[in-house]
Amino acid sequence: MRAFALRLTTALAALAMTAGAPTMADPATADTPQKTANATFTQPTAWNVRGDASAMTLSPPEGDLDIAFVDMPGAASAEAAVAGAWAKQYPGFAREIEVSASGAAKDGWEEQKSFSYRTSPNEHQAVSAVAFRRGSNWTVILVKGNEATFEKRAGTAYLALGTLRPAGYTRESFAGRTPHRLDATRIEAIKAFMAESIKELDVAGASVALIDHGKVVFSGGFGVKQVGKPDKVDGDTLFMIASNTKGMSTLMLAKLVDEGRFAWTDKVTKVYPAFRLGSDATTASVEMRHLVCACTGLPRRDFPDILTGSRATPPETTFQHLAETEPTSKFGETFQYNNLMASAAGYIGGHILYPDLELGKAYDKAMQQKVFNPLGMNATTFDKARVQKADHATGHGRAMSGELAVAGTGVNDAFYFERPAGGAWSSASDMIKYVENELRQGTLPNGKPYISARNVLARRLPNVPIGEDAFYGMGLMGAKTADVPWYHHGGDLIGFHSDLYFIPAADIGAVLLTNTDNGAAIRGPFMRRLLELLYDGKPEAAASITASAGALRARDAAERKTMVFPADPKVTAGLAKRYVSPDLGQLIFTRSAAGLTANNGHWSMPMATRVNADGTTSLVTAATGLIGIEFVITSKDGKRGLSMRDGQHEYRYTATE
């Protein structure tokens, strides 16, 4: 999928990051340091390695994905280094570069540039490269292989990708340094960073809150709630917080564990007998903690939700979809993020408390009584009607014209039925109270106990690694930067991207909310900037923002360049009016002077067309905030159809009229 390849290139750029090397495949029994003549990196557990001191290639157990580390000393440019690396490792490689972008200099590298290559959706291939330079020496990462395997193994793949460093480089360390307080000067520096970041990334608005040793030292906004309107964002503006709802849901569950209503290690079927996964054996092995650990091997399965869900979809659909899903990796083997599992966890918690209520109402009430009320989060809600009457932000994305515009809400509404995984609205002022609870480990600001430290901290225990010095707990992620441990979780829906952060050793936390898709690019640099100010770190955050802005512009331009919009009438003339999929419901196509529109029964999407490298043609969504979902036009036995994929699933539509 082309959009996947472009996202992979951006992710690789963001990660930027001799003798005696093995010459034969050698699976690692533990994460193992490796090196070429000019660079070092880590071979993940269970991955194979082959090569020599000039080039080494890692492959996961599936064997259908290569990540190669190739030294190209003396190359004249990033382009020359990458071309030479492909020729050395894969003679005859001749794919077209679809997009390239420069990255920020960091981790000892003085220059980096990423490249994504044109693939056809039926290939299911991830193909990209990143070139890194220190002095006159270049080292190139080549990624080539099965797209599904890359998604499945992403947690361990990013360990390898994110640990590439120049030979002899000493990592930055804040060990032994006393963190500064967030005084007026540092707060102003963060405000200046935010103001410049939303300008560079063309983000409509953002809200930030900061807490230092139990005192909220800043809560305020940047930019506007909606483009074209003067209303400014402030600390009380409500945003969709998406997956940051997960950590709040696990806090509710932790409260129930405190009350003795279940144990983290209880089988889910003991607590909620109706729970099912794709097989009896898998179902019987799942414990309550597994629902929220991203460690069970269940892959993402979002398209059935996006294309069939609405605000009227019943919460029971969560359990129906889970009953159709099986793990694609072993428990604890690799990080795989699944919204349905976290959704089920929240609904089960609500049902334990209020078994006579409908699942959604029980969950909403449980969150209100066990989390929002005790923490004083009076504005946080799942009630969209209430939000619309309050101080709230509107989501934005990039339109086909390239301009910033208001994004449609159809996808966000579709996820409402699994709201324990991502349906809450909150403000920076409210969310910082949640962060404060994490820092206080369950003691309220007035000194009264709210929840045991044991169960607050249980959510931070490592369950599965995500790259280097990072892991997933239960609705929270842990990380370490320059030897300073910290915790966070991100949230992503159309037009809304958020993160929260807390650094226990510094007794400092933060909340970041944005109302534009490009706002996701602020999250990592924001934390970097906070650490720079607290520990006198190297100034890298601003350069990361500039690099991300350039990469996003290049990616968006490349995406639009391949698409014909409005859709090519020669293509659309051959479409049936209605297509049906057993997994994704229906698509009804309408042609007008404005072009082709697809309707899934809940909301409409303008469509573009694209001719792929293998000669096939795709219909591609062209809605603001939802550009790039691809439906390949097919024909089998004279029957018209459409096919589409996410990372690990393929779906098919058949024409009915």
Task: Show contacts of 583-589: CB within 8 Å, 24+ apart.
Answer: 583/303, 583/304, 583/651, 584/303, 584/304, 584/307, 584/308, 584/644, 584/651, 584/653, 585/307, 585/308, 587/631, 587/642, 587/653
Query: Who contacts 111 (Cβ-Cβ below 8 Å, separation ≥6)?
Result: 78, 102, 105, 132, 133
Over residues 216-223, the mean pLDDT reads 98
> Does residue 14 surpass a pLDDT of 90?
no
Q: Using omega within 30 degrees of 0 as the cis cutoff, is the peptide bond preceding 566 cis? A: yes
Q: Which letter does DSSP use for residue 443 in this model?
A: B
CB 261 within 8 A of CB 442: no
CB 489 within 8 A of CB 367: no
> Does residue 519 surpass a pLDDT of 90?
yes
The confidence score (pLDDT) of residue 657 equals: 75
Over residues 368-388, the mean pLDDT reads 98
Over residues 379-393, the mean pLDDT reads 97
CA-to-CA distance for 334 and 322, rounded, in angstroms? 19
CA-to-CA distance for 591 and 577, rounded, in angstroms? 9
- Rounded to 10°, the helix 359-367/339-353 angle is 80
Over residues 408-424, the mean pLDDT reads 95
CB 549 within 8 A of CB 197: no
> Does residue 637 surpass a pLDDT of 80?
yes
CA-to-CA distance for 320 and 96, rounded, in angstroms? 42
CA-to-CA distance for 90 and 560, rounded, in angstroms? 29
Core vs surface per residue 27-51: b (16+ CB within 10 A) or e: ebeebbebbbbbbbbbbbbbbbbbb
Least confident piece of the model among 328-342, 375-389, 471-485: 328-342
Longest dimension (CA), the chain: 72
The confidence score (pLDDT) of residue 25 equals: 55
How does pLDDT run across 91-140, given as a tens digit for each residue? 999 999 999 999 999 999 999 999 999 999 999 999 999 999 999 999 99
Query: Who contacts 161 (Cβ-Cβ below 8 Å, separation ≥6)?
Result: 12, 15, 17, 67, 141, 467
Q: Which letter does DSSP use for residue 351 in this model?
A: H
Over residues 217-229, the mean pLDDT reads 98
- Rounded to 10°, the helix 359-367/244-258 angle is 80
Over residues 29-39, the mean pLDDT reads 96
The confidence score (pLDDT) of residue 26 equals: 67
**How far, in Å, are 216, 369, 406 from residue 156 at the CA level?**
37, 39, 36
How does pLDDT run across 552-563, given as a tens digit for each residue? 999 999 999 999
Query: Which architecture does CATH list for 2-166?
Result: 3-Layer(aba) Sandwich (3.40)
Rg of the Cα trace of the chain?
24
How does pLDDT run across 64-73, given as a tens digit for each residue? 999 999 999 9
Dihedral angle computed from the Cα positions of residues 36, 39, 42 and 43, in that order, rounded to the nearest 10 degrees: -20
Indicate the domain borders of the chain: 2-166, 184-555, 569-655
The confidence score (pLDDT) of residue 6 equals: 43
Percentage of residues in the chain having pLDDT higher than 90: 93
> Does residue 19 surpass a pLDDT of 80?
no
- Three-state DSSP class for 459? coil
CB 39 within 8 A of CB 166: yes
Over residues 632-655, the mean pLDDT reads 93
Region of residue 647 (phi > 0: left; psi between -120 and 50: alpha; otherwise: beta): alpha
CA-to-CA distance for 62 and 302, rounded, in angstroms? 24
634 vs 1: which has the higher pLDDT: 634
How does pLDDT run across 131-174, given as a tens digit for each residue? 999 999 999 999 999 999 999 999 999 999 999 999 999 999 99
Dihedral angle computed from the Cα positions of residues 13, 17, 19 and 22, in that order, rounded to the nearest 10 degrees: -70
> Does residue 228 surpass a pLDDT of 60?
yes
The confidence score (pLDDT) of residue 10 equals: 46
> Does residue 186 surpass a pLDDT of 70?
yes
The confidence score (pLDDT) of residue 206 equals: 98
**Total H helices, total E strands in the chain:** 20, 30
How does pLDDT run across 269-293, given as a tens digit for each residue? 999 999 999 999 999 999 999 999 9
- Three-state DSSP class for 34? strand
> Does residue 4 surpass a pLDDT of 60?
no
Sheet holding 39-43, edge to edge: 32-35, 39-43, 165-166
How does pLDDT run across 573-608, given as a tens digit for each residue? 999 999 999 999 999 999 999 999 999 999 999 999
Residue 63 tokens read as 């064997």
Confidence tier at 306 by pLDDT (50, 70, 90): confident
CA-to-CA distance for 512 and 48, rounded, in angstroms? 39
Question: Could you count the other beta carbons within 10 Å of the beta carbon of residue 480?
Answer: 12
> Does residue 18 surpass a pLDDT of 80?
no
Query: Looking at domain 184-555, does it have CATH number 3.40.710.10?
Result: yes
